[in-house]
Amino acid sequence: MNEREYADWYVWAKRNVSATSEICHAAAQAAMEAVAKGEDPQAAARRAGQARQGAGWTSTASSDLKSYAEWFDWARTQLGGSPDDNHKAAAAALDSLRHGGDAAAAADAARLAGGQTPAAAPAPPAPIPPPPPTPSYAPPVPAASPPPTPGPVPGSGPMYQPPSPYQPPSPYQPPTRPAYPPPSPFQSPPPSQPPTPYQPPGGPPGQPPYGGGYAYPTPYQASVQPTSVPVWATVVLIVGAVIYALFGVLYLIVYVTNSDPDIRLGSVVFMIVAALVTAPSVVGIVGILSSAVWGRIFATIASIVMCLTLVGCIFGIPVLVGLYARRN
């Protein structure tokens, strides 16, 4: 398999399909297989990136081919040279890895092959100077003596104050009491008012005092909701009624134009079936269009009669589903 073509499809998948290396390798493998078969390689690469199965996943490329494509993509993004220089850099990196070099050596080989100088190794750090030597003997430092405690200084203390002379207590004074005012002369209570006579609650004579009679609630009135049938069910019912009406007219013509008793008997049977379908269908259609409840009933009868024949099941079953699947 061509290394350059595989690497080009790997980079194309990195740009157009996914940034994941595994998906890009599968897309590149699928594109190479599509080219070998004469198919569209871009469509095959996109399918491999989306489906994660099929072409590109069942058979994978070798590890050297994958490494070459990844180094080519690295040279494209890191070195920025021409496609030929990037291919030379990828080949040099892969050759360095085959001879036991590590990733750093492979990168240096790729830069050199791509027309760039290898990255210079960092300078070693400057050595740390040794600490200064300590003397073998140091004389002991005498301990500092605490400062002497100062003694009392004459004349620096507070002056002596003689005690105050004795004060005799004040003579006893009895407590004063508030003077209470004399009670006012007795006053008789005001004369009581006689109770008011009983007054019955207001209202015209002859009416009970508690008001009017009991108000009975209004009787419950059930609200009749109009019937609701899907439009498509109504259309199917109309089509079925028209077809059965045409059948009835057709068998009426057969009945009139033939003298064979068996044919006439069969025509009568089919005309009866057509009438049993057409009549309730017309009534049901009128009821459905006028939103009446009985329209659903006649439409149901017509649908059941339709189902008695094999052809009528095509119209009867959908109408029954439409009548009762969305019943409000």
- What six digits make up the tokens of 132? 């200064």
Distances (CA, A) of 231 to 236, 237, 238, 240, 243: 9, 10, 11, 14, 19
| Candidate from 74-78, 184-188, 193-197, 225-229 with smallest mean pLDDT | 184-188
Across 284-291, average pLDDT:
81
Instruction: Encode pLDDT of 170-193 as tens digits.
Output: 655 655 665 555 445 444 445 555
User: Using an 8 Å Cβ cutoff, are 142 and 122 in contact?
Assistant: no
Q: What percent of the chain has pLDDT over 90?
A: 2
Which pLDDT belongs to residue 44? 76
User: Using an 8 Å Cβ cutoff, are 94 and 64 in contact?
Assistant: yes
Instruction: Encode pLDDT of 92-130 as tens digits.
Output: 888 888 888 888 888 888 887 777 766 554 444 555 655
Q: What residue spans define the domains of the chain? A: 1-61, 63-118, 231-325
Instruction: Encode pLDDT of 252-274 as tens digits.
Output: 998 898 888 888 888 888 888 88
Q: Residue 149 — pLDDT band, cuts 50, 70, 90? A: low
Which pLDDT belongs to residue 95? 83
Nearest to 224 by CA among 323, 299, 322, 292: 292
Q: Give CA–CA dist 79/118, Å, rounded.
A: 11
pLDDT higher than 80, residue 301:
yes
